[in-house]
Amino acid sequence: MDSTKLLYDGKAKQIYATDKENEIIMHYKDDATAGNGAKHDQFAGKGILNHTISGIIFDMLAEAGVKTHLIKKLNDRDDLVRKAEIFPLEVIVRNITTGSFCKRTGCREGLVLETPIFEISYKNDEYGDPLINEYHALAMGLCTLEEYAEIKEETLKINEMLKEFFLRLNLKLVDFKIEFGKTENGEIVLADEISPDSCRLWDVDTNQKYDKDVFRQDIGDLIETYKAVLARMENK
Ligand code: 5GP
């Protein structure tokens, strides 16, 4: 397998070509960024931790019937995945208020929402991934109405599965971001990763943060935090 051709070098991952047109390799780097790249650091082993955590979650979701891009794990940092055209949307669900939602609305932190909030942002670093709604997405040609409906339905299902999964680890799923892509045969699949980089997780008893906020806010050791999440997953 020719895995040497770098197709894309992202903030936390790289994408490599393979000798098959419809399969690519997703490689997890040790980089951590926050504030749209304003804060950047490297943590030895972070890529391995996120790859392991995300792999467990993707396997759990696939078993529950979610279509994902994952074909198989190749080693401790690389996945073989189906090539998919990624919708330029950050799909976000909030169960408890914090982060940009509180900054934007003035809502207090930590409010447990009666129903989840479904949000989409336009993936565009130059403009700081602005919050948009379905009218913007359709008018800008980012997805079709049918695609939007499928993404929303699948995301809310994933939220329920993830909430339950993390609760068994004594962690509250505060919010998360996921991404979807469209494969060559038109199938919409869950892509990218689900890890403490892309989810906010708070301990049920103490509200201690077990996610990238420890790096964003300089309030803890990122590697120890991610290791603790993985340990809960492995011990459950
Ligand atoms: P917020 O909009 O409050 O900053 O983030 C909401 C949720 O989406 C959080 O769980 C956060 O980790 C995730 N999120 C938002 N933007 C990004 C992003 O650009 N990359 C990653 N990995 N996660 C993001």
Continuous segment of H or E residues that includes residue 46: helix 46-63
State residue 162's pLDDT score.
Answer: 98
Mean pLDDT of the chain: 97
Of 46, 53, 92, 226, which is best to mutate to test ligand 1, by the most ligand atoms within 8 angstroms of its C-beta? Answer: 92
- Cα of 35 vs centre of ligand 1, distance in Å, is 10
Residue 83, classed as helix, strand or coil, is: coil
- Cα of 198 vs centre of ligand 1, distance in Å, is 6
Q: What is the pLDDT of residues 141-191, one digit of tens each?
A: 999 999 999 999 999 999 999 999 999 999 999 999 999 999 999 999 999
**The domain 84-220: what is its CATH number?**
3.30.470.20
Angle at alpha carbon of residue 52, lines to 47 and 54, rounded to 5°: 90
d(CA 230, CA 188): 28
Asked if residues 93 and 119 have their Cβ atoms less than 8 Å apart, the reply is: yes
How would you classify residue 45: left for phi > 0, otherwise alpha for psi between -120 and 50, otherwise beta?
left
37 pLDDT higher than 90: no
| Residue of minimum CA distance from atom 24 in ligand 1 | 198
What mean pLDDT comes out for the span 198-203?
Answer: 98
State whether the beta carbon of 213 lies less than 6 angstroms from ligand 1. no
State residue 4's pLDDT score.
Answer: 78
d(CA 79, CA 200): 23
Read off the DSSP letter of residue 59.
Answer: H
Q: Please report which confidence band the pLDDT of residue 219 belongs to, taking 50, 70 and 90 as the band edges.
A: very high
Q: What is the pLDDT of residues 73-120, one digit of tens each?
A: 999 999 999 999 999 999 999 999 999 999 999 999 999 999 999 999
31 pLDDT higher than 80: yes
Q: What is the CATH superfamily name and number for domain 4-80? A: Phosphorylase Kinase; domain 1 (3.30.200.20)
Of 57, 101, 129, 198, which is best to mutate to test ligand 1, by the most ligand atoms within 8 angstroms of its C-beta? Answer: 198
- Domains in the chain: boundaries: 4-80, 84-220
